[in-house]
Chains A and B, each alone.
Chain A
Amino acid sequence: MKGKLLPTVITCILFIIPFFWLKPGFMDLGGDSSRLYFYDPLRYLINYSLFVVSPSGGGSENIGFMTIPFVALLAVAKRILVSSTVLISAFHGFSLAASFLFVYLSVVQLLHTSMKGERLKELAALAGGLLYVFSPISIFGWDKVLITHNYVFLNPVMFYLMLRYMVTDRFFYLFWALLVTFIFSANFSFAAAPVFFAFYPISLVLLLVYKRRVLDQAVHWRQLGVASIVFILLQAFHIVPQIASMVTPGSVLYSAVFSSQGKFDRGLGYFSSIAPSIKTSINVMLLPQMTEVSKLLIFMIMLPLTVILGLLRSGKEEQRFKKTFLLIGAFFIVIFFFATGNITDLGLSVYKKLFILPGFSIFRNFYGQWAGAYLFYYAVIFGLALPVVLEVYKKAKVWLLVFVFLLLVNAWQFINGSLTNPLLWDADNIRIAMNMDPNFKLALEYIRKLPTGGKVLTLPLTDFGYQIVAGKDTGAYQGPSMISYLGGKQDFSGTGEFGRYRELFLESVRDGNIDEVKRILGILNIRYVFYTSDPKVYDAFLEFPYNDVRKYFPKRQKEYAQFVDSLALRLVASFDNRFYIYELPSENVTPRIYIAKNTTAISRVVVDASVPLELLSDDIGESAFFDGSQTPSSASAFWYPAESQSSLLAMVKNPDPFRIMHHAFVTTSPSSFYYPLIVLKETVKLWKFGRANYFSRIDQQSFLSAKRILELERWGESMSVLGTLHTLSDFNTAHKEPGVSRDSPRLWDVSAWKRLNSWEATLARYYRYFDDNIKTIDAIDQSLQWKMEQKFLLSEYLRQHYRRLTLLIQQRDPIKAHRDYLEEITDMIFGNLLERTNADLSDLTIPYSVQLPKGNTESYGVYLDKNTYGINEHFSITVGDEKLDSLITEEGRWNKLGTVVQTENDSLNQMRLSLIEPKNLLTDNSRMMLESELSSTDSASFAIDARYIKGAKGLVWKIDDWQPQSYYLLTFAYRTSGEPFVVRTLESEILRPASPQNAQRGEQAQDGKVDSTNTIVEDMLKSPTWAQYQAVVRTNKFVNTGFIQISPSTDHLSLSRIELKNVSLVHIPHPLVMLLKNNEKKIVSQPTISFVQVNPTLYKIHVSGADQPYVLALSEAFNRRWRVSLAGFDKGIASTRHFQANGYANAWYITPEDVDRQSEYDLELYMSMQSYFYIGASISIVALIGLLSYGMWRYIKKWGRV
């Protein structure tokens, strides 16, 4: 054992080190998934791990079963150790010690076949173990770790156990491997899928190849097969529910794995964005990626150097060792590739192709997910190379000592605990380690005892669902809410949990609309508000995690307290004048389970969440609304929102989300020897699409046009200007790609290829793409509206390219030398193309369509939402031939314009809304700045001489009543000479005098102060002949003032002139139009219910007086797996009449037939996904008992033999 003294000592030291990280009483509990299991493992188990309904927010599906064995073990450990600080320290110590020890043992085992001395092997294994623990990439990430961080020690442990099994064929190792996977099942679950799949499949293949090709032994496939089955059975308690969730269309897991969007948007898109940032050289030296790395860490070059030298000088080694070394090397390279990604274009391309595989998108954050496997194999191969190097190079031992010393010096901040107790991001000197405030504990205890049936709103609200809990002395917890994880009450701690009510809730808070705020809380079943007034949890956090929420809520605690007071809620408890618990009146809160006496159905989801809330009766506690395609037939009222079909709104210059234009890339210059191949490739691709696949052809030609512009930008200075083309027909016929058509030059015509390296050739090809696209669009048999929209998209490309080319010609030498000619031909080409793609946007009539039930003739009331148009705007609605233009009644926010009857020919689909007397907002009065040398013949036309404009201010109109989230149409005719001009649409929020809302938000009276002015649309104006400019612009939220500015494009003053005519800015109306049909035959049933929550997945309900059908609602996130059944029966009732209600909840339309015509009975509301856990848990328990029994039997048998 003498030789084992050093590893034992090091292991003990590593175990002890973390005990110096935390002061007594302090805990590191925060993080994305929290570490509250170290504080109260039992409550964590009950509130999070054991049930499939999430403890937070709306009660969506949550699978946390995989944490059960580990947390249960922690519960036992906590009983023994009592202190959470000791528990955390002991666990960290165990992680470090086990990581080191099992890497050491793995290297020792693999070096077994080496001919080198035992002492050298020992040194090498120790070095490998220390590298694994203290490398520059291992020492980070120990703060706020996820439960899956256990891979740090699990990877070496499992590798060693499997390695020993392969070498010795002893069941002992297999037994312990299986047991370890059960205890740490979180690391073998879907939650840890990336790290699991990054390590285990490759390691298993390596070990199998090692056994067969290196050890030359047969693999016991049967034993391995049985072990695999036992492994799956042991994990069944979380795998079964995970699989059930994965195969349920609509679940989060299903989308992540199977949908194209999941594959590409969340996987490949993310991967492609970070791949260029991952550096091969950094990974070669095992340094951290994407961080500032000190050049002093250059000593890490000894790692790859040692490996190379080891391979170089391993010639005299035993054959088996050489094979081992090379085998590890080969697998190391594979993992290196997956951890780096960006190795040659081919490698990157292959990597991207792998994202087609279902589930591969888990590796989108590849460098982090492969880092663990990469580190392990690097440590192992380093350990294998070391004995060779140490023997061959006499001074290598000194270098090794220096290397280990530098490693430890670099890791000193980790060893002394500085790295594990960092400052919270964006917080004012607050660290993550905290000691629990006893007053907060009291508040938590109080919340635990609150009646079930109402959820909690935790204030201050955060952006991401975190809760901040300040420590008694210093530090703060930042992680998932303790109210839910430890308090056992579902709570809303982040804005994301509000779902579709998020925007409305935040805007209501911002605008001081307390009634709306309370209505939203009520509909979400929020009965209590927990508020922490401590400045340490809000004021001390400068931005994160309150970045977004501070735009709506008060900025400081002082005003926050006033906001809470303005809610006028009943205070039920307070602790230390810092923790307050309030209660909403029960009549304003939708119960957890209730009978909806009033129901409203809306045929489709309306974006503005206040609309359905408005449509409910005032008695929010007894009402429900349904929207979307499925609604019960018994609703009291049916609303049908009409959909705007305006093509104007499809031609917005700045849509949300923004329009993605082709992002071209070019690597081959037109002068390159390879350029003809590029041209041929492009031509073949176009030819493949043919004429039939017109959409792909248009798309591809748009992409190629972007490439041509990029070629001019990159190589235009070296491309020749022939000066040979002067007319549009020249551009149509000249410089065709050789060999591609009958009238093209021959394929072998070298001079024709050479001429492609010219401005004329590039512009001619560019012109022909768009010419062909425009002709194709005109020829296609599609609606006029579609054609307008497609041409608009082309015009967006053209404007962008025109501007870039103009700048290029003006500014770059030696292109400037040919400026006049190039300007002439570009003006000609773009003028022609823009004119042909310009649509007539003068018609402001908005067509609407509405989907109504077919086959009947019903009458519908026509309503306009007053909130969606200006008070001075007046409309007429034409339905077929009938015109509705007068206001009949005002019903709250709705203006009723009349009643229409659906006819058999669906005339209600031919609704048209016209704005009566659209107002031009650009008046003389709204013009802000005007130079004295402006000449004007009338108020509608201007001519500005740029020589006299100081700076770039130009001509500006200010529009005071600029509506947020609205659309405007800007049109004018223009003609320029000289330099181009620019037209910009800008907007800002100009703060008004102090209002109650502003005071509440802590803002002083700031009359006239501009928050920020942003340009939302900008276009170049350049045309020697009269041209028409049209732009539909979309305004953002939080704006109240708009500007239209026309100014020179540069600051260089020269003789330039722009003439303008008929300048007009009009607000495009798109009010919400709804049709209402009241249900004469609605059934009014008044059964009474009482309920008891057995656990978060099971409610027992007693129903009495149910003589007629009724709607039973459950205020938990909608999930098809919620079932209603008669008590004592398994079979669900009304499963085809299960709807989403209130924008998030569940509702069932239950008829007397469903319950055998009883009027009084008991129901069970049950989340059936929980059954999968019970099934899986039974399997796992049987498998565990079987494994333990078999292990015991073999042990006893062995002892018996001995």
Chain B
Amino acid sequence: MKKDIQKMMHDTAKWIHGNPLTFLAFVSILVIAEVFAFPISLDVRLFGALFLYWFLARIGKLTSARVFQLCIILLTGMVLGYLISGAAATTERLAVWFVLFFVLGIFTQWREITA
């Protein structure tokens, strides 16, 4: 069982490392789906997803640049939302996702520099 988990994680890390853009696209779709599928935002989902991203990015050895690329995608979504419906709930939730990943990006880049 332990070996299976380790193998699964290794494969996941390898896949993420080899397909960063696909991984980012997947994350973006999940974030957008979360915004539109659930009428109410819950911290459990926000921080859970953020932690999951951080963990997967870490094992996949993704750099802070990927986080900032994700931020650009989320920023684009936020802008589209703003243009369509102003500062509505969906726009706000995308903005919150953007800010959270921005924080993660700063933190990740600081670690890269100090490391």
By a beta-carbon cutoff of 8 Å, the part of chain A in contact with chain B is: 279-282, 284-285, 295, 298, 301, 304-305, 308-309, 311-312, 315, 319, 322-323, 326, 329-330, 333, 336, 342-346, 667
Q: A280 touching B46 by the CB < 8 A rule?
A: no
Q: Which 4 A-B pairs have the closest CB atoms?
A: A281-B95, A280-B95, A279-B87, A312-B68
B44 to chain A, nearest CB (A): 9
Known A281-B87, A305-B72, A308-B75; 10 more pairs at CB < 8 Å: A279-B87, A279-B91, A279-B95, A280-B92, A281-B78, A282-B87, A301-B75, A309-B72, A326-B113, A329-B106
> How many B residues touch the partner, as a band?
35 or more
Residues of chain B with a CB closer than 8 A to A309's CB = 68, 72
Tell me the complex Cα distance, A441–B109, Å. 65
Q: B99 touching A343 by the CB < 8 A rule?
A: yes
Q: Could you list 20 A-B pairs, sorted by A, with CB under 8 Å? A: A279-B95, A280-B92, A280-B96, A281-B78, A281-B91, A281-B92, A281-B95, A284-B95, A285-B82, A295-B83, A301-B79, A305-B72, A308-B75, A311-B105, A319-B113, A322-B113, A326-B113, A343-B99, A344-B41, A345-B43
Q: A298 touching B83 by the CB < 8 A rule?
A: yes
Q: Quick check: is B51 within 8 A (CB to CB) of the other chain?
A: no
Residue among A315, A319, A326 with most chain B CB within 10 A: A326
Tell me the complex Cα distance, A301–B83, Å. 11
Q: Quick check: is B28 within 8 A (CB to CB) of the other chain?
A: no
| B 67-101 contacts with A by CB, 8 A | 68-69, 71-72, 75, 78-79, 81-83, 86-87, 91-92, 94-96, 98-100
Residue of A nearest to B98 (CB): A284
Tell me the complex Cα distance, A326–B68, Å. 13
Tell me the complex Cα distance, A342–B65, Å. 27
Tell me the complex Cα distance, A667–B72, Å. 31
Residue of A nearest to B65 (CB): A312
Residue among B47, B69, B71, B81 with most chain A CB within 10 A: B71
Residue of A nearest to B91 (CB): A281
Residue of A nearest to B109 (CB): A326
| B 10-54 contacts with A by CB, 8 A | 40-43, 46-47
Tell me the complex Cα distance, A667–B43, Å. 13
Q: Quick check: is B103 within 8 A (CB to CB) of the other chain?
A: yes
Residue of B nearest to A348 (CB): B43
Q: B78 touching A284 by the CB < 8 A rule?
A: yes
B100 to chain A, nearest CB (A): 8
Residues of chain B with a CB closer than 8 A to A336's CB = 99
B69 to chain A, nearest CB (A): 7
Cβ contact of B75, chosen from A304, A322, A342, A343, cutoff 8 A: A304
Q: A305 touching B99 by the CB < 8 A rule?
A: no
Tell me the complex Cα distance, A298–B78, Å. 11
With contacts A279-B87, A281-B87 known, is A344 near B75, CB below 8 A? no
Tell me the complex Cα distance, A598–B43, Å. 68
Residues of chain B with a CB closer than 8 A to A322's CB = 109, 113
Residues of chain A with a CB closer than 8 A to B64's CB = 311
Q: B65 touching A333 by the CB < 8 A rule?
A: no
Cβ contact of B43, chosen from A323, A333, A344, cutoff 8 A: A344
Tell me the complex Cα distance, A516–B96, Å. 60
Tell me the complex Cα distance, A319–B82, Å. 36
B37 to chain A, nearest CB (A): 15
Residue of B nearest to A332 (CB): B106
Q: A308 touching B43 by the CB < 8 A rule?
A: no
With contacts A284-B95, A311-B68 known, is A298 near B106, CB below 8 A? no
A396 to chain B, nearest CB (A): 15
Residues of chain A with a CB closer than 8 A to B82's CB = 281, 285, 295, 298
Residue among A301, A308, A333 with most chain B CB within 10 A: A308
Q: A330 touching B75 by the CB < 8 A rule?
A: no
Q: B92 touching A333 by the CB < 8 A rule?
A: no
B20 to chain A, nearest CB (A): 13
Q: B102 touching A308 by the CB < 8 A rule?
A: yes
B80 to chain A, nearest CB (A): 10
A1140 to chain B, nearest CB (A): 51
Residues of chain B with a CB closer than 8 A to A315's CB = 65
Tell me the complex Cα distance, A326–B102, Å. 11
A144 to chain B, nearest CB (A): 28
Residues of chain A with a CB closer than 8 A to B41's CB = 344-345
A669 to chain B, nearest CB (A): 11
Q: Quick check: is B110 within 8 A (CB to CB) of the other chain?
A: yes
Q: A330 touching B99 by the CB < 8 A rule?
A: no
Residues of chain A with a CB closer than 8 A to B98's CB = 284, 304
Tell me the complex Cα distance, A333–B100, Å. 10
Cβ contact of A284, chosen from B83, B99, B109, cutoff 8 A: B99
With contacts A281-B94, A282-B87, A295-B83 known, is A311 near B99, CB below 8 A? no
With contacts A280-B99, A326-B106 known, is A312 near B75, CB below 8 A? no
A393 to chain B, nearest CB (A): 13
Residue of A nearest to B105 (CB): A311
Residue among B65, B68, B92, B95 with most chain A CB within 10 A: B95
Q: B46 touching A344 by the CB < 8 A rule?
A: yes
Q: A305 touching B83 by the CB < 8 A rule?
A: no
Q: B96 touching A344 by the CB < 8 A rule?
A: yes
With contacts A282-B87, A301-B79, A312-B68 known, is A330 near B96, CB below 8 A? no
A959 to chain B, nearest CB (A): 49
Residues of chain A with a CB closer than 8 A to B75's CB = 284, 301, 304-305, 308
Residues of chain A with a CB closer than 8 A to B65's CB = 312, 315
Residues of chain B with a CB closer than 8 A to A326's CB = 106, 109-110, 113
B35 to chain A, nearest CB (A): 12
A219 to chain B, nearest CB (A): 20
A677 to chain B, nearest CB (A): 11
Residues of chain B with a CB closer than 8 A to A323's CB = 113
Tell me the complex Cα distance, A898–B86, Å. 73
Residues of chain A with a CB closer than 8 A to B71's CB = 308
Residues of chain B with a CB closer than 8 A to A280's CB = 92, 95-96, 99
Q: A343 touching B96 by the CB < 8 A rule?
A: yes
Residue of B nearest to A667 (CB): B40
A21 to chain B, nearest CB (A): 32
B85 to chain A, nearest CB (A): 11
Q: B43 touching A311 by the CB < 8 A rule?
A: no
Residues of chain A with a CB closer than 8 A to B47's CB = 344, 346
Residues of chain B with a CB closer than 8 A to A284's CB = 75, 78, 95, 98-99
Cβ contact of B103, chosen from A305, A333, A342, cutoff 8 A: A333
Residues of chain A with a CB closer than 8 A to B102's CB = 308, 333
Q: B78 touching A346 by the CB < 8 A rule?
A: no
Residues of chain A with a CB closer than 8 A to B79's CB = 298, 301
Tell me the complex Cα distance, A323–B115, Å. 12
With contacts A284-B78, A323-B113, A326-B109 known, is A312 near B69, CB below 8 A? yes
Cβ contact of A330, chosen from B81, B94, B110, cutoff 8 A: B110
A310 to chain B, nearest CB (A): 9
B94 to chain A, nearest CB (A): 7
Q: B92 touching A279 by the CB < 8 A rule?
A: yes
Tell me the complex Cα distance, A1106–B100, Å. 76
Residue of B nearest to A304 (CB): B75
A374 to chain B, nearest CB (A): 13
Tell me the complex Cα distance, A285–B94, Å. 13
B22 to chain A, nearest CB (A): 19
Tell me the complex Cα distance, A304–B99, Å. 10
Tell me the complex Cα distance, A665–B63, Å. 41
B10 to chain A, nearest CB (A): 28
Tell me the complex Cα distance, A298–B106, Å. 25
Residue of B nearest to A283 (CB): B95
Residues of chain A with a CB closer than 8 A to B106's CB = 311, 326, 329-330, 333
Residues of chain A with a CB closer than 8 A to B92's CB = 279-281, 342
B46 to chain A, nearest CB (A): 6
Residues of chain A with a CB closer than 8 A to B94's CB = 281
Tell me the complex Cα distance, A298–B105, Å. 24
Residue among B46, B86, B87, B98 with most chain A CB within 10 A: B87
Tell me the complex Cα distance, A301–B103, Å. 18
Residues of chain B with a CB closer than 8 A to A304's CB = 75, 98
Residues of chain A with a CB closer than 8 A to B46's CB = 344
